[in-house]
Chains A and B, each alone.
Chain A
């Protein structure tokens, strides 16, 4: 299987380990990730908050390059994934918009391809069976809170993926790895990533809500499929603990990292040592390192 791969800006910087683990597990699964040459930033929230045209143009350029190759796009960042879908929809529903977009990017984007997120890719396109076939080490004893965040499954009319209130696909993958996905109600609550710099206090409250619920529900770690969620929840965890006088010390993994551990890769190969919440002791205790 071959798919266009759009790392997006975070996977080249703050979310490097997600990039490593995606590439490692893809190789093991026999999938070719064709990185879109000279891809540009999707514009994230600043673009859609500032202009109605800009986010469509920025995403259409990347989509067009993949379309020329006849490929759909795997976007491991939930925000990039969402922005790409919005661009596909805008171009397909508005002929005038398509013309303007194509004039600006100097390409002929037809809107025939689409974007998929990491969970959707692993669950629907690769399939649990194919993943299970590669497992060398069951992640037994790991109690995982599956955190989908907001943009993987919302807005539902756009993503058309899983259930926006109680999604299951990530849980199924985690279960297949031998870990226990816990039942908890904050799967799709927002962590506030977009306001991390300009309004940090909001993040602290939202992440405190998320971690306290995860702990109350019996989780010992979180798993995400978005570099923004992962970074935000780990980077600001110390500040959250200070603000709310609690101690969580709870690792937040990417789904490809857990898959990678079960495939027998070491934490170092997967880049898990680059996390902000130190997890060596945790992984040792769980016999995963």
Chain B
């Protein structure tokens, strides 16, 4: 991380921080940095920052760094942190919000595979109404370049009749498509 002048960073980030707080309903000022969240987080060992550090960076205005961090993409939403936080900060929802905002603002995503996986998953839901596993695997593998991802376990799944090569098309597809449409309208309206 390059050198930063603290009070300048804080001033410059004010409006962005209030947008984050408003959308996530998390008041980052409440965190007193006890580190409980970091201690129980199952993914901090593979991440660049812990959840405590993410909050500290927000408090001090280092929002660029947060938007580029791996943590916001690696958080699996297990809820350990929020269950234990003495200040009751909803960290998983904060991470969700940070991911969404960082994408909207065009930041490069630190964990591309996670992003591609999410996007491929939602594409199958948008068109069929439900998750279409085989379609997801094809989309994910071609877009991520991991052509063999899941291939170690796929044959077993087919053998046990657990995944089908065909999608399951529900009758309410139009309603589901409308939910996606509304989502895009709301994004455009901001």
Contact = CB atoms under 8 A, between A and B. Distances in A.
Interface in A145-161: 150-151, 153-157
Interface stretch (B27-35, B50-58, B60-68, B119-127): B119-127
A54 interface: yes
Nearest to A93: B25
Given A61-B175, A106-B178, A235-B153, A154 B79 contact: yes
Interface centre among A12, A16, A49, A156 (most CB of B within 10 A): A49
Interface stretch (A116-124, A174-182, A194-202, A249-257): A194-202
Given A52-B97, A206-B42, A274-B162, A150 B179 contact: no
Interface residues of A, number: 58
A50 to B, nearest CB: 5
Interface stretch (A35-43, A67-75, A132-140): A35-43
A168 interface: no
B179 A189 contact: no
Contact of A54 (B82, B164, B172, B183): B183
Which secondary structure dominates chain B's binding surface?
A: helix
B149 interface: yes
Given A106-B175, A190-B42, A52 B100 contact: yes
Contact of A38 (B152, B163, B172): B172
A189 B80 CA distance: 8
A76 to B, nearest CB: 16
The 6 closest A-B pairs by CB, nearest first: A154-B79, A190-B78, A104-B182, A46-B118, A57-B179, A150-B78
10 contacts: A43-B122, A46-B122, A47-B125, A50-B103, A50-B119, A54-B179, A61-B175, A104-B182, A150-B78, A195-B43
Interface of A: 9, 12-14, 16, 37-41, 43-54, 57-58, 61, 100, 103-106, 150-151, 153-157, 164-165, 188-190, 192-195, 197-199, 201-202, 205-206, 235-236, 239, 274, 276
